[in-house]
């Protein structure tokens, strides 16, 4: 029987409430009000509303907690020991194009340490959750990372820098190296779900550069609680600061790390 802390129960209830409206919006994409934040980086009325609902629900249950939000940045509260890290729609571009590959991502930090995590795809009703020291689950199923030991048998996920971002040449060099050494590569456009799927053993590893804390906070805990290894691309535990991440099982992490680090643009 999986353990659900009171905090994670609150997070799940908030995600399900926000997710119901997202499902309605997903079925009526032509009615969404769309504004452009930057090159290939869109925010919708659904994105803003989802964040508002999540903050309202979590604040009611946990008054005083701080928030780190995709749309509004850092919102301070009187309780500096707790912070929710939220991406209301990870995979906004997928959402905007009618692709059901997006998620609500919520992580909870206590004194700077990730303690609870949730990645929820409302369209597929996949609820990935993790508690520090209590394992990771998809709905009621316990998750474990894949056990493959050889890169040439492995399926790797990543994210490419989109228009207006730096790092295209470096990514192409890394992609070429990974494609030459593995069974294949996938790019789905939602880092939180990529990490959740890696925790579930669907991918053998995931790497990406220049992400934000809300993209990866929940996924980091999911992978670790499923038995995986997560570092940044210098081998340190500074993914939230650097924005670079490499997640794999214990056998694949070092060879993949060496492969990516050795790729030169």
* pLDDT tens for each residue of 69-88: 998 999 999 999 999 999 99
pLDDT at 162 over 80: no
Options 3.40.190.80, 2.40.10.220, 2.40.50.100, 3.30.2310.20; CATH of 151-261: 3.40.190.80
Largest CA distance in the chain: 51
What pLDDT was estimated at residue 265? 78
User: pLDDT exceeding 70 applies to what percent of the chain?
Assistant: 94
Q: Residue 196: which region, alpha, beta or left (left: phi > 0; alpha: psi -120 to 50)?
A: alpha
Please answer whether residues 2 and 137 qualify as being in contact, where contact means their C-beta atoms are separated by less than 8 angstroms.
Answer: yes
How many C-beta atoms surround the C-beta of residue 37 within 10 A? 11
More confident call, 174 vs 163: 174
Q: pLDDT tens for residues 24-39?
A: 988 887 666 666 655 4
Q: pLDDT tens for residues 222-238?
A: 999 999 999 999 999 99
pLDDT at 66 over 90: yes
Mean pLDDT across the stretch 47-73?
96
- Which of 36, 75, 29 is CA-nearest to residue 52? 75
The whole-chain average pLDDT of the chain stands at 93
Q: pLDDT tens for residues 167-208?
A: 889 999 999 999 999 999 999 999 999 999 999 999 999 999
**In the chain, where are the structural domains located?**
6-142, 151-261
Question: Which whole-number Å values give the CA distances from 120 to 153, 170, 224, in the listed order?
Answer: 29, 31, 18
Please answer whether residues 92 and 192 qualify as being in contact, where contact means their C-beta atoms are separated by less than 8 angstroms.
Answer: no
Options 3.30.565.10, 3.40.50.300, 3.40.920.10, 3.30.540.10; CATH of 6-142: 3.30.540.10
Prediction pTM value? 0.94
Please answer whether residues 229 and 253 qualify as being in contact, where contact means their C-beta atoms are separated by less than 8 angstroms.
Answer: yes
What pLDDT was estimated at residue 30? 62
Q: pLDDT tens for residues 102-119?
A: 999 999 999 999 999 999
d(CA 265, CA 263): 7
SS3 label, residue 18: helix
What pLDDT was estimated at residue 167? 84
Contacts of 15 (CB under 8 A, 6+ apart): 54, 104, 106, 118, 120, 122, 127
What pLDDT was estimated at residue 39? 45
DSSP for 145-174 reads ------GGG-EEEE----TT-S-HHHHHHH
pLDDT at 40 over 50: no
């Amino acid at each position: 029987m999986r353990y659900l802390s009171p905090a994670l129960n609150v997070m799940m209830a908030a995600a399900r409430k926000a997710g119901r409206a997202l499902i309605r919006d997903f079925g009526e994409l032509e009615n969404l009000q769309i504004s452009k934040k930057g090159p290939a980086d869109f925010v919708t009325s659904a994105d803003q509303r989802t964040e508002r609902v999540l903050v309202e629900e979590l604040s009611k249950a946990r008054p005083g907690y701080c928030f780190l939000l995709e749309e509004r940045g850092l919102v301070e509260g009187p309780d500096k020991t707790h912070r929710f890290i939220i991406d209301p729609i990870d995979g906004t571009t997928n959402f905007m194009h009618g692709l059901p590959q997006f998620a609500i991502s919520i992580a909870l930090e206590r004194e700077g340490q990730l303690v609870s995590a949730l990645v929820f795809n409302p369209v597929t009703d996949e609820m990935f959750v993790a508690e520090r020291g209590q394992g990771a689950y998809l709905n009621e199923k316990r998750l474990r990372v894949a056990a493959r030991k050889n890169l040439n048998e492995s399926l790797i996920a990543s994210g490419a820098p989109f228009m207006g971002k730096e790092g295209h040449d470096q990514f192409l060099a890394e992609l070429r190296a990974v494609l030459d050494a593995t069974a294949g590569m996938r790019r789905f456009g939602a880092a939180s779900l990529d990490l959740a799927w890696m925790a579930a053993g669907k991918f053998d590893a995931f790497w990406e550069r220049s992400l934000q804390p809300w993209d990866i906070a929940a996924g980091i805990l999911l992978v670790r609680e499923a038995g995986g290894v997560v570092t940044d691309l210098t081998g340190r535990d500074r993914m939230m600061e650097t924005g670079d991440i490499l997640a794999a099982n214990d056998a694949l992490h070092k060879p993949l790390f060496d492969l990516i680090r050795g790729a030169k643009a």
